[in-house]
Structure 1
């Protein structure tokens, strides 16, 4: 199968102030020190690889006191130049939402929705050709789904997350090619009902086992051909190649100490300016 990359525009935020000071997820261990300089080098490598593939990468200025702002995917969901902001579950991340809002409005968002219900942006929203996949269970509330459906004018497919290690949809599922509804996911991260929905909707999906998921292999960025994901999840590479994708291993081991990978670092600016 032949796959084709599509130029994308992304927003990223340098991990200048990245650290882990508390354990809000099973990934976070304050006793395991973060090397911020190494995190910045790893982040730069991810940014540079995206640019090398022809994508535009914009940079959001990091805020002191916002150590998880590097996970730019959580700050909003942008579709057709319209943005629904984030309403973070944890107060420590609340200042990030305003920074994203200001940047998006300054850079051409045609309509911005200040959310009424808790959601963490692209952490729990993923766009396919047929619908907007919407995670809930830990950070985003089901009531946010109706808000997204109304604002974006797209059908929403609710998916319940049940494993605290996979607290965002983007840690349990990746859209590989939205044009063809190609996805990969870890079935055990979802409730039985959601697994049944996924099997019915995506019968040809790449299925990731527990080792792939634990390596954050589902937290991947794809442009329709190149799939950037952790090098530690390389056992997923053959399945991706079989389906025509080109896996690209990335070392984000420092950011993984907070439970974040490539996708967490990248917000897609769909319909917002060039390209």
Structure 2
């Protein structure tokens, strides 16, 4: 029996959603997009989280920042410490300070803005015991050491090699966080990932760290199926990721498929829209 853990998320409604430029392989400004449909998908995603008993906060979107909906790229929060973001694309640069102000206004005092290019949870995945950190297309390798210093957690660097999977969160996500305690109480984290998105050396590291990982197929990855969100039991996935959903169900998880077809036109899925706030005050180990 998988046990869901209460979560706290920060999201940004796509009120000004559009695709006016190309900064990833999914974006095509020549294709029509609908802010109304994107908003409906976002509302369904937020209500899905609330239906599981999770807390969802919303930050106000800003005109001229259509990608602000992808909140995961704007902060990494572990133990109440916040490491902000520094975007590689100039079109998104202004988002970082809007999120910084939200954290400060909501009582977070340990907020650090990075000096290296760092696209936050786009390239950082907290497993409960260590921080997996992606590089290769967006986040600078130097940001990995900076994250370790700011957040005070061990960091494992992973090299992305396929431009379709330019962020770690398009190729890997955490299914269940682990914990460290007495030997009899240690819990190994579980992840799902697409091996071919990573360099050979990084694939070896992942096999060594996560021998029981759920391996995704090319079809899973091609619909952004690895851009999922899990609370330890309920796993929110794009509705096309049916193969991955079957494999997760066989492991005891409860897949929940949602429509993100409009948001995907800008290169985002459930995780991209979801910044997790890991604050001790939220009692992150509280089960539902």
Normalised by the size of structure 2, how large is the TM-score?
A: 0.93
Whether 1:210 aligns to 2:218 is yes
Aligned residues: 274
Whether 1:237 aligns to 2:250 is no
More divergent stretch after superposition (21-30 vs 88-97): 21-30
Q: Which residue is equivalent to 1:223? A: 231
Q: Which residue is equivalent to 2:58? A: 59
Q: Which residue is equivalent to 1:129? A: 128
Q: Equivalents in 1 of 2:22, 2:11: separation in Å?
A: 24
- Kindly state the Cα deviation for residue 100 of structure 1 after the two structures are TM-superposed: 0.4
**Equivalences for residues 1-275 of structure 1 within 5 A:** 2-179=1-178, 180-271=188-279, 273-274=281-282
Q: Equivalents in 2 of 1:151, 1:212: separation in Å?
A: 34
Q: Equivalents in 2 of 1:102, 1:185: separation in Å?
A: 33
Q: Equivalents in 2 of 1:97, 1:136: separation in Å?
A: 19
- Kindly state the Cα deviation for residue 111 of structure 1 after the two structures are TM-superposed: 0.4
Q: Equivalents in 1 of 2:149, 2:207: separation in Å?
A: 26
Residues 149-202 of structure 1, C-alpha deviation per residue, up to 9 Å, x if partnerless? 111111100001111111110000010001231000000101111011111111
Q: Equivalents in 2 of 1:168, 1:107: separation in Å?
A: 28
| Contact kept in structure 2, 1:108 and 1:273, CA below 8 Å | no
- Kindly state the Cα deviation for residue 214 of structure 1 after the two structures are TM-superposed: 0.3
| Contact kept in structure 2, 1:229 and 1:250, CA below 8 Å | yes
Normalised by the size of structure 1, how large is the TM-score?
A: 0.98
Structure 2: which 5+ residue stretches go unaligned? 179-187, 284-288
Residues 53-85 of structure 1, C-alpha deviation per residue, up to 9 Å, x if partnerless? 000000000000001000000001011111000
Q: Equivalents in 2 of 1:193, 1:140: separation in Å?
A: 18
- Kindly state the Cα deviation for residue 23 of structure 1 after the two structures are TM-superposed: 2.0
How well do the aligned residues superpose, as a CA RMSD in angstroms? 1.0
Q: Equivalents in 2 of 1:82, 1:91: separation in Å?
A: 26
SS of residue paired to 1:217: coil
Residues 31-54 of structure 1, C-alpha deviation per residue, up to 9 Å, x if partnerless? 111111000000000000000000
| Contact kept in structure 2, 1:13 and 1:61, CA below 8 Å | yes
Q: Which residue is equivalent to 2:183? A: none
- Kindly state the Cα deviation for residue 22 of structure 1 after the two structures are TM-superposed: 1.9
SS of residue paired to 1:150: helix
- Kindly state the Cα deviation for residue 24 of structure 1 after the two structures are TM-superposed: 1.7
Q: Equivalents in 1 of 2:131, 2:214: separation in Å?
A: 19
Runs of 4+, deviation exceeding 4 Å: none
- Kindly state the Cα deviation for residue 243 of structure 1 after the two structures are TM-superposed: 1.3
